[in-house]
Chains A and B, each alone.
Chain A
Amino acid sequence: MKRLSLLLIIILFLSCKEKFPVIEEFGNTHYNLVDQNDQKVVFPDFIKGKIVVINYIFTNCPDICPLSTNNMRLIQERIKKENIKNVQFVSISFDPKFDSPGVLRKFAGIRDLDLSNWVFLTGEKSVTDSIIKKVGVLAVPNDSTVFKNGRKIYYYVHTDRIQLIDTDVKIRKNYRGSKINIDEIIMDIKSLQ
């Protein structure tokens, strides 16, 4: 009986691993960032031990990033509704020159986002560039708008992505951020619990 139980556990473990192959792991890499409250954060250290839903955004994006962010909110609401514990939400800006902690705080605030388990991160451009390269996200400045006062803002062609990271800080699955199937990621989060 004991052997059978052990065998079942191994089969379950292997099937889970097959369903969620490790896409990337952070290993001993650490990144110094700041959150929306200007508090220092070492990424990914602070998320270790939690299941993480993460997306990559720039706040000047009027269409796709708000859509991805709204999907993050919908996932968060389902997590609360189904009483799933130990899930952390993270949004990292790849446009840190514009997206200061204050800008990120306002971006979250105007949308009434629940920041009890959701953090918005920014930092030095070289650091955020390293992170997005590590996780396989591309963000290239493309079009721009110049205002009458000379202010210029850029729009990026960027990977539209939400990722699922396990408790060992390994990236386990990629989703289209703007078109994610909420039921699918909820099931995946449960599988990783």
Chain B
Amino acid sequence: MKKIFLIVLLITSSSYIIMFAQQLKIHNSKIKIQNAWARPAVKNANSALYFFIENKSRETDTLLGAQSKIAEEVEVHESFIRDNDRMGMRPAGRIAIKPNSQLEFKPGGFHVMLLGLLKDLRIGDNIEAVLLFKYAGKIKIKAMVSDIPTVKETKH
């Protein structure tokens, strides 16, 4: 009886693992990050990272956070406007990317804050970061340091 139970448990958990892995694979290939760029800033100061996310899958995925070795802290924030011309920032929390949709991280909106830079980010430099998604997992991105977006604006 014990053996049967163990076999059933093994088969069930294996199928779950396979399903999860397949889902991960599907999402990983369906989440595209493009046109990443970061603002110039000096060591110990802060920069912001911007990019374009495209979810080509039929499932909602969620951006859980970001990592980078070039900053002491990395946080996902959004800028907000108050009373017409006052700007502020707040943590963005988890960000859902709906199926077959696009989301742009751009100046004045969502951005990844690179806090306490460990080196100068000069215009033309390239940096690396990792975006953490609920299903797609870790996606490595490369971003060019620039004072303006690296490509033309994308239509929504």
Pairwise interchain contact A111-B85, C-beta atoms closer than 8 A: no
Q: Interface-forming stretch among B40-48, B55-63, B95-103, B130-138?
A: B40-48
Chain A, 127-165, CB within 8 A of any chain B CB: 138, 142-143, 145, 147-148, 151, 153, 155-161
Contact status B147-A66, CB under 8 Å: yes
* Residue positions of B touching A, CB distance < 8 A: 39-42, 45-48, 72-73, 75, 77, 79, 81-82, 85-91, 107-108, 111, 113-116, 120-123, 147-148
How close is B43's CB to chain A, nearest CB, in angstroms? 9
Q: Is the interface of B mostly helix, strand, loop or mixed?
A: strand
Contact call A178/B89, Cβ cutoff below 8 A: no
- In the complex, which residues of chain A have a beta carbon less than 8 angstroms from the beta carbon of B108? 63-64, 67, 178-179
In the complex, what residues of A have CB within 8 A of residue B89's CB?
Answer: 63, 142-143, 155
Which residue of B41, B79, B87, B123 has the most chain A CB atoms within 10 A of its CB atom? Answer: B87
User: Which residues of chain A are within 8 angstroms of B111 by Cβ–Cβ distance?
Assistant: 62-63
Point out the residues of chain B lying under 8 angstroms from A59, CB to CB.
45
Q: How far is the CB of B143 from chain A (nearest CB, A)?
A: 14
Which of B85, B116, B120 is within 8 Å of A176, CB to CB?
B85
Residue in B closest to A174 when the chains form the complex, CB atoms:
B85
State the CA gap A67–B50 with chains docked (Å).
Answer: 13
22 interchain pairs, CB-CB under 8 A? A60-B46, A62-B39, A62-B111, A63-B79, A63-B107, A63-B111, A64-B79, A66-B107, A66-B147, A110-B121, A110-B122, A111-B40, A145-B73, A145-B75, A147-B72, A147-B73, A148-B72, A151-B116, A155-B88, A157-B86, A159-B86, A160-B86
Q: Is the CB of B87 within 8 A of A64?
A: yes
- Contacting pair A67 B107 (CB below 8 A): yes
The answer to whether A62 and B46 touch across the interface, beta carbons within 8 angstroms, is yes
Flag A36-68 by CB within 8 Å of B: 1 or 0 each. 000000000000000000000001111110110
- Given A63-B48, A67-B107, answer yes or no on A73-B85 (Cβ-Cβ < 8 Å): no
